[in-house]
Amino acid sequence: MPSEFDLIHRYFTRPAKHADLAVGDDAALFRVAPGMQLAVTTDTLAAGTHFFHDTSPYDLGWKTLAVNLSDLAAMGAAPRWATLALTLPTADECWIAAFAEGFFDCAGRYGVDIVGGDTTRGPLAMTVTLLGEVPAGQAITRAGGQPGDDLWISGWPGLAALGLMCLQNRIQLTDSSRALTALHRPIPRVEAGETLRGIAHAMLDVSDGLAGDLAHLCKCSKLGALLDADALPLVPLIAAGADESLACQALLAGGDDYELLFSASPGARDLLAALARKLNLPFTRIGQFTEETSILLVDGSEAPPRPLDVRSYDHFAPPD
């Protein structure tokens, strides 16, 4: 069996573009460009909690970096450097090779250098810490929302949740391919996040379901929201074979989406429409921020607004 050192060296040592010293010493060394703030985030994926044990190692490699890229995108930061702490039950070289391929494909796509890591024997889990740069003072936090701001969501939230329900045999879809791809190979909205600097007032990435994450955004911005049920982007979910009720559930209470939820001034609507075309990524206007701190759902009917159930995915909450 190859040693830990051999494995790390063989699969995780690649030339670094933005680092003075990468993998192989006690720490990596790099420089932050003048006028930049550093943004840092960390996320763990653990077998049995975040993915099934038989998930493809290539997909896991991709996703473990992608979920962190999504966090930096939500700040409007450009990703630069990552460390990977990988815990493996055995040193299965085929598994490691495929994992590394997925991981470095994602890193290459988004210009990230792998500058450090640690390999440990134990139950399968991976933790990435990702560092990026953002011009000082221009990061988009969760706290900048203004009353009257439009609320927008990128892409196709809910697809990953449908994919998970499919894998669990809880539902059947007429076309599960997009849903499974969304679950296994999430596309972090890195370009969109950077493009939204100076336009979005508040932003986060939706990883725990739109309803719960909207509640986080409202709380941090000390605002409420009016969500328009008729505006929710259900079409891709229905096209995959979900009925309207299931589509709503997947979008509002699902997880693993990694879309951007953000607020912007109503005056920015034309600009956002143009940016969405340029990015080839839909931005859907789904409601607005309100001074009143409740979160209400309205639709085109004459029914009065009703409170939104804001339960989001929580690893420690008892199952439903």
Of residues 90 through 109, those in contact with a copy of itself by CB under 8 A are 91
| CB closer to a copy of itself, 154 vs 176 | 154
- Encoded one letter per residue, x for contact with a copy of itself by CB under 8 A and - for no contact, window 220-259 reads x---------------------------------------
Q: Encode 10-38: b = buried (16+ Cβ within 10 Å), e = exposed.
A: ebbeeebebbeebbeeeebeeeeeeebee
Q: Which of 13, 111, 118, 266 binds a copy of itself (CB under 8 A)?
A: 118
Residues numbered 9-28 forming contacts with a copy of itself, rule: CB under 8 A: 20-21, 24-28
Q: CA nearest 215: which of 305, 307, 303, 320? A: 307
| CB closer to a copy of itself, 181 vs 313 | 313
Residues numbered 187-206 forming contacts with a copy of itself, rule: CB under 8 A: 203-205
| CB closer to a copy of itself, 20 vs 244 | 20
- DSSP letters along 120-184, please? EESSSEEEEEEEEEEETT----SS---TT-EEEEES-TTHHHHHHHHHTTS---S--HHHHHHHH
Q: How far is the CB of 100 from a copy of itself (least distance, A)?
A: 16
In whole angstroms, how far apart are CA 172 and each of 87, 168, 237, 238, 241? 34, 10, 12, 12, 8
Angle between helices 244-253 and 210-221 (to 10 degrees): 40
The site that binds a copy of itself (CB under 8 A) totals a number of residues, namely 72
Q: Binding segment for a copy of itself among 122-130, 153-161, 234-242, 266-274 (CB under 8 A)?
A: 122-130
Q: Which of 65, 107, 134, 171 binds a copy of itself (CB under 8 A)?
A: 134
